[in-house]
């Protein structure tokens, strides 16, 4: 479909089309709730209630892992250690000091938040394998700590943990605990679901789109990783608290690294990116483990944890044939339901004061970037004024994208400086630069293919929410952010309509054609409320009519006072649109001037080997 055929279909039609899916989902959830409520009152054998309790406890941990591993892309083997913190805190305080279990919970949560925060702070900024390794180290050391501390009862643990009391009711039986445990499971899912469908949640989800993109939208990626890590740890801790009061005793075994691996198994089997997959995975693994523990020793004629071998084989098979776990298969049975729609009425977001026409916006002064011996940008200088469209052209490898990265703080300059509205911005992090009003797109698109077009674009408005200054995590979890969400989604929808993608709000971003994905990135950059827009090859992959629409849009933006710096290979496009051209070759600026003059410049003609006629 053409982006120029911008029929403004009303936003609500797409939501309406998903009604069927939403109904089926609601019915399935209702049925599940009825089963949960009924199980303890029906003459269900005690064995099944116990199994249900464990599935619930494991689900809570696995929900945290969906957030941490599935959504944020960070692997942790150490969740069992946080479960242990929750269990031991309450067990110790209630048995030694006779404190209320709820104080035990508060203590456990405090210890968990502090330790997860510290571990997060140290490891999250490191790349790749450090986190999994750190969580293994953490899991092992806590296990041995539990087992060796005299006051925690060493490997025998602590006994006589009291019964939980809730609103004057003793939760003595497994049946009574069943309700509490499953209420916590549902609340955990709701909390994480709320978080994910919010401004900070989209920031967490954007981690998978690459740190460079997320930071360019103003996301403090290091902090968001810490948030995800702490939240996952808190859920594990709560599960441990419930475990201690269900078992009425604790010992180190269930908090060892084996269990840490099993939790990860559960999240992976269920579907590591899906919240309900956590429950599915916990259910499958728990029931399977129980069955295997009964059958395997009989088959093999000796005792041992043989089920681990079966799990290992299962995991390998799963990773081969169903990377996303089993939940997507269930999900496919139900028509897709769109996520939250755009409200019809929303107060527009406030906008920054824009530079006066002709004001010097961008001032690149002898900027240099060396990669080892390669000088990718060689003391390049140029300026962009408010309301100007400046083209940055040159053959492949000339250093155009690197120049963009210097301006937007993706790379530090080797020497020289970049000023934006008089302020030196070179060597500031990307998220500080976008905060000042520089929005950008990428030569190789960076978007979240499974998120909707609307949500992808809303990431651009990350710094513009009502709660942006405080982080907004608590507000998101408690859904106190409805006004903010409404405004942000309305802004995203407005920018999408502006660029001609108004018909695609609820489509998965990955389903768009490449050219449209580039246009999506422009809408996302516009959501940053920029005064200067940096577009890296925006017309690549567009058809003729789409290019015309893009040129028209950029002309309109210019008319509104926007400054644009543009890298583009399509010479017709560049010549007609830009006020000035800066030409680079081998990192060096070889020409600058009005397009008509640059076109005749012998140095430019040489560089392009006759590409320009
Ligand atoms: P353009 O966008 O003009 O095609 P680039 O700015 O992408 O060119 O690249 C300029 C030069 O810098 C190329 O030789 C490229 O290989 C090199 N380069 C770019 N980024 C890096 C990097 N991160 N590390 C090393 N070399 C790089
Ligand atoms: Mg490039």
Pocket test for ligand 1, best of 374, 376, 588 (most atoms within 8 A of CB): 376
pTM over 0.85: yes
**Residue 24: its pLDDT value, please?**
85
Q: What is the pLDDT of residue 230?
A: 96
Question: Ligand 1, closest atom to CA 399?
Answer: 6
Would you place residue 346 in the very low, low, confident or very high pLDDT band (cuts 50, 70, 90)? Answer: confident
Report the share of the chain in percent with pLDDT over 70. 94
Mutational test site, ligand 1, from 402, 405, 412, 442, max ligand atoms within 8 Å of CB: 402
Does one domain contain both 314 and 414? no
Same domain membership, residue 422 and residue 306: no
Pocket of ligand 1 (CB under 6 A): 371, 374, 376, 394, 396-402
CA within 13 Å, CB half, 104: 30
Ligand 1 atom nearest 405 alpha carbon: 6
Determine, yes or no, domain membership for 191: yes
Instruction: With a cut of 80, say whether residue 194 has pLDDT above it.
Output: yes
Taking the C-alpha atoms of residue 79 and residue 115, their distance in angstroms, rounded to an integer, is 12
Q: Mind listing the pLDDT tens digit for each residue in 556-585?
A: 999 989 999 999 988 889 998 999 999 999
From CA 466, how far away is CA 291, in angstroms rounded? 51
Clarify whether residues 320 and 372 are in a common domain.
Answer: no
Cross-strand bridge partners of residue 166: 169
Round the average pLDDT of the chain to a whole number and report it. Answer: 90
pLDDT digits (tens, 9 = 90+) for 468-514: 878 889 999 999 989 999 999 999 999 999 999 999 999 999 999 99
Q: 606 CA to middle of ligand 1, Å?
A: 21
**Is 15 among the domain residues?**
no
pLDDT of residue 328: 84
> For ligand 1, what atom is nearest to the CA of residue 402?
6
Q: Is residue 16 part of a domain?
A: no
Same domain, 186 and 223: yes
Same domain, 268 and 372: no
Mutation probe of ligand 1 site: the residue of 374, 407, 584, 586 with most atoms within 8 A of C-beta: 374
Residue 12, pLDDT above cutoff 50: no
Alpha-carbon distances, residue 519 vs 47, 299, 435, 453 (angstroms) = 57, 61, 22, 11
Q: Is the pLDDT of residue 265 over 60?
A: yes
**CATH number for position 603:** 3.40.50.300
How far away, in angstroms, is 514 Cα from ligand 1 center? 22
Confidence of residue 127 (pLDDT cuts 50, 70, 90): low
Q: How confident is the model at residue 4 (pLDDT cuts 50, 70, 90)?
A: very low
131: domain CATH number?
Answer: 1.10.3470
Residues 375 and 327 in one domain: no
Contact 88, 250 (CB under 8 A): yes
| Residue 499: predicted pLDDT | 93
- Residue 467 clears pLDDT 80, i.e. is over it: yes
Helices (H) and strands (E) in the chain, counts: 24, 14
Tell which atom from ligand 1 comes closest to the C-alpha of 584: 3
CA 564 to ligand 2 center in whole angstroms:
16
Domain span at residue 222?
50-331
Residue 422 CB-density burial (10 A; 0-12 exposed, 13-18 middle, 19+ buried): exposed
Rounded CA separation 40/462 (Å): 45
Nearest ligand for residue 370 CA:
1
Nearest ligand, CA 442: 2
pLDDT at residue number 338:
60
Render pLDDT for 285-342 as a digit per residue (tens, 0 to 9). Answer: 999 999 988 888 888 888 777 888 888 888 888 878 888 888 888 888 776 666 667 8
With beta carbons less than 8 A apart as the criterion, state whether 85 and 111 touch.
yes
Q: Which of 397, 410, 412, 538 to probe ligand 1 with, by most ligand atoms within 8 A of CB?
A: 397
The more confidently predicted of residues 106 and 272 is: 106
1 in a structural domain: no
User: Count of domains in the chain?
Assistant: 2
The angle, 0 to 180 degrees and rounded to 10, between the axes of the packed helices 46-65 and 19-41 is 140
pLDDT in tens, 429-447: 999 999 999 999 999 999 9
- Which of ligand 1's atoms lies nearest the C-alpha of 377? 10
In this prediction, residue 7 carries a pLDDT of 37
**Residue 18 placed within a domain:** no
587 has pLDDT over 90: yes
Take atom 18 of ligand 1 and give the residue whose Cα is closest.
376
Is residue 476 in a domain? no
Distance 601 CA to ligand 2 centre (A): 22
Q: Please check whether residue 142 is in contact with residue 257, taking contact to mean a CB–CB distance below 8 angstroms.
A: no
């Amino acid at each position: 479909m053409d982006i120029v055929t911008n029929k403004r279909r009303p936003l609500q039609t797409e939501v309406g089309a998903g009604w069927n899916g939403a109904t089926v989902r609601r019915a399935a959830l209702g049925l599940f709730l009825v089963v949960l409520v009924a199980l303890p009152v029906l003459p269900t054998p005690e064995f099944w209630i116990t199994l249900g309790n464990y599935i619930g406890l494991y689900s809570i941990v696995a929900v945290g892992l969906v957030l941490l591993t599935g959504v944020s892309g960070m692997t942790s083997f150490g969740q069992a250690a946080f479960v242990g913190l929750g269990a031991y805190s309450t067990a110790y305080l209630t048995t030694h000091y006779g404190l209320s279990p709820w104080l035990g919970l508060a203590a456990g949560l405090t210890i968990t938040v502090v330790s997860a925060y510290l571990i997060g702070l140290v490891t999250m900024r490191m790349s790749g394998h450090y986190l999994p390794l750190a969580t293994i180290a953490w899991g092992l050391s806590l296990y041995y700590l539990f087992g060796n501390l005299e006051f925690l009862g060493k490997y025998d643990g602590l006994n006589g943990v009291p019964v939980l009391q809730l609103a004057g009711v003793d939760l003595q039986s497994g049946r009574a605990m069943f309700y509490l445990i499953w209420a916590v499971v549902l609340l955990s899912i709701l909390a994480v679901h709320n978080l994910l469908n919010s401004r900070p949640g989209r920031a967490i989800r954007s981690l998978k789109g690459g740190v460079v993109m997320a930071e360019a939208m103003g996301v403090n990626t290091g902090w968001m990783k810490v948030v995800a890590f702490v939240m996952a740890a808190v859920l594990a801790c709560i599960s441990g608290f419930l475990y201690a009061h269900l078992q009425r005793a604790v010992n180190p075994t269930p908090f060892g690294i084996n269990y840490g691996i099993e939790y990860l198994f559960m999240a992976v089997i269920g579907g590591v990116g899906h919240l309900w997959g956590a429950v599915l995975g916990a259910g499958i693994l728990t029931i399977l483990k129980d069955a295997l523990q009964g059958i395997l020793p009989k088959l093999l004629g000796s005792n041992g944890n043989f089920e681990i071998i079966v799990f290992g084989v299962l995991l390998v098979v799963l990773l081969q044939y169903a990377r996303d776990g089993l939940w997507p298969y269930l999900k496919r049975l139900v028509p897709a339901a769109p996520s939250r729609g755009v409200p019809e009425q929303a107060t527009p977001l406030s906008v920054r004061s824009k530079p006066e026409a002709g004001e010097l916006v961008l001032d690149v002064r002898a900027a240099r970037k060396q990669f080892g011996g390669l000088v990718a940008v060689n003391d390049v200088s140029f300026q962009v004024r408010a309301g100007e469209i400046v083209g940055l052209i040159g053959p492949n490898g000339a250093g155009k994208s690197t120049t963009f990265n210097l301006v937007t703080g993706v790379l530090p300059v080797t020497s020289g400086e970049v000023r934006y509205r008089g302020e030196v911005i070179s060597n500031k992090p990307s998220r500080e630069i976008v905060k000042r009003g520089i929005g950008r797109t990428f030569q190789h698109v960076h978007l979240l293919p499974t998120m909707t077009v609307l949500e992808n674009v809303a990431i651009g408005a990350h710094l513009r929410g009502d709660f942006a200054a405080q982080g907004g995590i608590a507000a998101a979890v408690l859904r106190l952010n409805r006004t903010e969400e409404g405004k942000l989604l309305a802004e995203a929808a407005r920018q999408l309509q502006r660029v001609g993608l108004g018909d695609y709000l609820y489509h998965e971003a990955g389903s768009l054609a490449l050219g449209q994905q580039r246009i999506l990135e422009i809408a996302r950059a516009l959501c940053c409320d920029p005064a200067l827009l940096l577009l890296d090859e925006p017309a690549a992959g567009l058809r003729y009519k789409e290019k015309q629409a893009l040129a028209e849009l950029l002309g309109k933006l210019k008319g509104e006072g926007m400054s644009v710096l543009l890298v583009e290979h399509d010479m017709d496009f560049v010549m007609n649109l830009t006020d000035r051209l800066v030409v680079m070759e081998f990192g060096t600026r070889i020409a600058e001037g009005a397009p008509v003059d640059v076109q005749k410049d012998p140095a430019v003609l040489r560089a392009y080997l006759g590409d320009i006629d």
